[in-house]
Amino acid sequence: MVLAAGKGLRLRPLTERTPKALVEVAGVPMLELVIRRLAAAGADGVIVNAFHLADQIAAFLQNRDLGVPIAISRETELLDTGGGLKKASWFFADGRPFFLHNADVFSDLDLTRLYRAHQESGALATLAVSERATDRYFLFDAAGLLRGWESLRDGRRQWAGAPAPEARRLAFNGIAVISPEIFPRMTETGVFPINRTYLRLAAEGAAIRFFRTDEYYYKDIGTAAKLAEVRHYAVEKGLP
């Protein structure tokens, strides 16, 4: 699943007429870059959620052959990451683990390696993370299991079960592999972030694990400065 419903408020005025998912890097819309990478990693179908300027996203997907069948999950209100995933749960009826990838993330992460690590660990969800500066962190113990979440911006920390003061701060890089067994356990409804589900399930004993990606390039295009950096990187490396 590719998450593409957001309004891209920090990229205005660019996103007032163009959905963030269709902003181009090296002449190619981000949504296309992400879908092609997922297909190359073995994804045999993709569902994209859409809300802001959804007609543009739908038209783009209908008029472009990206190598895999694509479905669209339209949202009449922004459901956030958890609500959006839950609405699209019907798409994952084959019982196999699936990628959840933000449309605004530009990365050279080895997706097949991430998927394989998820399968081998037996985790319910595996989150791509790295040690980098940000204002929100997942907190993991020495065994690589999720123990909490922290926001430096407003000084909040939430534990999954008992506090783990020794837990390591790691930044989420917008890509995960999830097993469909998560859906019957998603008791949250309506609009909610997937982080809420992860923390509750971790507190209940579910294995929500990290996958370190420090060796790979990562940047989201959430601001004009970040978009400029990604575009420069892509030109420098001769990408896509």
Is residue 239 predicted with pLDDT exceeding 90? no
The band of 27, judged by pLDDT with boundaries at 50, 70 and 90, is: very high
Q: Specify which residues 176 forms β-bridges with.
A: 100, 127
Contact between residue 73 and residue 48 where contact means Cβ atoms under 8 Å apart: yes
Is residue 88 predicted with pLDDT exceeding 90? yes
The model's pLDDT over 177-216, given as tens digits with 9 standing for 90+, comes to 999 999 999 999 999 999 999 999 999 999 999 999 999 9
Measured distance CA(196)–CA(118) in Å, rounded? 20
Give the rounded percent of residues in the chain with a pLDDT score beyond 90: 95
Is residue 240 predicted with pLDDT exceeding 80? no
Helix axes 30-40 and 111-121, enclosed angle (nearest 10):
50
Measured distance CA(210)–CA(163) in Å, rounded? 18
Supply the mean pLDDT for the chain. 96
The model's pLDDT over 137-171, given as tens digits with 9 standing for 90+, comes to 999 999 999 999 999 999 999 999 999 989 999 99
| Domains within the chain, CATH numbers bracketed | 2-237 (3.90.550.10)
- Averaged over 93-110, what is the pLDDT? 97
Is residue 129 predicted with pLDDT exceeding 90? yes
* Exposure letters 186-221 (e unless 16+ CB within 10 A, then b): bebeeebbbbbbbbbbbbeebbbbbbebeeeebbbb
Question: Residue 14: what pLDDT?
Answer: 87
Its pTM stands at: 0.96
The band of 238, judged by pLDDT with boundaries at 50, 70 and 90, is: confident
The two counts, helices (H) then strands (E), for the chain are 7, 14
